[in-house]
Amino acid sequence: MTLQTVAGDHRAELKSLFGLENVRYRINLSKEELFQEALANDRGRIRPDGPDTDHKAYATRLGVRGPLVYYTDPSCTGRPVQDTFGVAWPEIENKVWWKADFQKFDPARYEALRARVIQHLNERKGTLYVKDVYCGTDASYARPYRLVSEYATHSFFCHNMFPKDVPGVADEAGKRWTMLNVPSFHCQPARDGTRSERIVLMDFRNRMALVLGRADYCGVVKKTMFTVMNFVLPEQGDLSMHCSANVGMSGDGAILFGLSGTGKTTLSADPGRKLIGDDEHVWTRNGISNLEDGCYAKLIDLDKHAEPIIAAALSMPGTLIENVPPLPGKRMEDTDPQELNLADRSITENTRFSYPLAANPNVMEGAKGPHPQTIVLLTADAFGVLPPVAILDQADVMYHFVSGFTAKLAGTEVGISEPKATFSACFGGPFMAQKPSVYAKLLGQSMAQHNTRCVLLNTGWSGGPYGVGKRISIKDTRALLNAALRGDLDPGKVQYATHPVFGLKMPASCPGVAGEILNPRNTWADKAAYDAQAQKLRDMFRKNFEEKGFAALGIQPRM
């Protein structure tokens, strides 16, 4: 098939799907070509008071042999969750878990908005970059994904983050999702029914997504499709998960759930285990597989010695640095990427870096692995009251999985900050398009079928809350994790005590870990203060459980 034929096929398909006619397509360009196109053509606002004609993409001193540096609109340095919607078609309205970060959008207003976007593009007569990839590495569930974008940078990012070749996918045309990403179209809330001038909108009936206006953060290209997969995969009995995954040398698989700051990425990067992936996975009848083919890591305050893979990838061709400021008085084109100040948060705390999964030296072939023997639910308890490790039975797993707890620090002011509880169902609430009980049921069924153990691993504080106690050492956390992975903490192998407030089963001993830290009350000098703090956190769990209505969804309360 000639390139002209391929281009003709895309043009015909996009005309049929959207009504696009008067546009120029750049189809499935190489990353080197997209690099040059981004430098030449990507234009938009990069400063709060700046014009919409600034360059968005820059080269470093390494040119095309190094990373592409990209700046988002300053109002969109992270996912615009309050502007994320789903079209409330009647057939899916009762299935979707509607919430503040995934709201209903009226179907009639959606169709009118889509028509205005197409009219805008046809009148603009601009260039659209088309990138064909897949979401998923296993043909049994993978969905073809076509990104149609005004920015070459988004096509470049999409190439990094998703598989390019997944043989054996049946009915590709009937499964394909298409995203139309149009930063130049600014919504009018009164006319379009949007909350602001931007929107991220998913249409599950027609398998399409619209990303409009100042929503050009690269993570939208990735997480929108994760939300899509979280809706479609449970429909066929597959469990999509916000987790990392790896495999030990004896072939034992593990998955690690956890919110930001709990250690999900760090703990899965183990030289003694092969990485499947660090963020998005699916558990099917075939085992665990990655939805992606890349990594999208935070860069802020990166310790290059602790994270040598990311540090090395900063200078690799085909990688993408997002929202790291240039050095004062120095052009980006004259800057070596290793010179960049990764502690500079003047643009955003959420500086990012996209690189291919293959940049990791120890990856499972095909980004796939066996059914997991161990599931780890990670939390970083800044209240200092949860045990460092607890063994969970199935009812415990369901409760803690839908709770999705961690405790973050409230701020960075001088002095002691009050910890702030965060509950994110299934450890990825904003992306869970179906109700939490759907994922919990699938998790429970899969665990029972494959006799999978589960532990709650706390990477937070001991001996007191943040500001008083100390964070549990990475040495102890690694020892606890390795013991769990080996099965050393399985029932019958160690003695347990039951926590009087949380009801969690705490091992009395663990190889390589001082026994006194395993019961967190023992580490507090003021036992009464510990009891009060534990009861305070328990009440937060109870309030979240009641407010979310988990009991009505069949989840048993455990506190």
Convert the pLDDT of each residue in 392-426 to its tens digit.
999 999 999 999 999 976 443 334 357 889 999 99
pLDDT at 263: 87
Q: Where are the domains of the chain?
A: 3-41+77-235, 239-293+365-553
CA distance 350 to 329: 23
pLDDT at 211: 98
Ranges in the chain, pLDDT < 50:
1-5, 410-416
pLDDT at 7: 65
pTM for the structure as a whole: 0.93
The catalytic site residues sit at 79, 223, 242, 260, 264-265, 279, 352
Give the 3-state secondary structure of 383-421.
CCCCCCEEECCHHHHHHHHHHCEEEEECCCCCCCCCEEE
Nearest to 174 by CA among 131, 148, 207, 147: 207
Architecture in CATH for domain 3-41+77-235: 3-Layer(aba) Sandwich (3.40)
pLDDT at 408: 75
Contact of 436 with 230, CB cutoff 8 Å: no
pLDDT at 260: 83
pLDDT at 409: 65
pLDDT tens readout for residues 107-132 = 999 999 999 999 999 999 999 999 99
**By 3-state DSSP, what share of the chain in percent is helix, strand and coil, each rounded to 5?**
35, 25, 40
The CATH topology of domain 239-293+365-553 is Phosphoenolpyruvate Carboxykinase; domain 3 (3.90.228)
The chain-wide mean pLDDT, for the chain, equals: 94
Give the 3-state secondary structure of 14-60.
HHHHHCCCCCEEEECCCHHHHHHHHHHHCEECCCCCCCCCEECEEEC
**In whole angstroms, what separates CA 371 from the centre of its chain?**
21
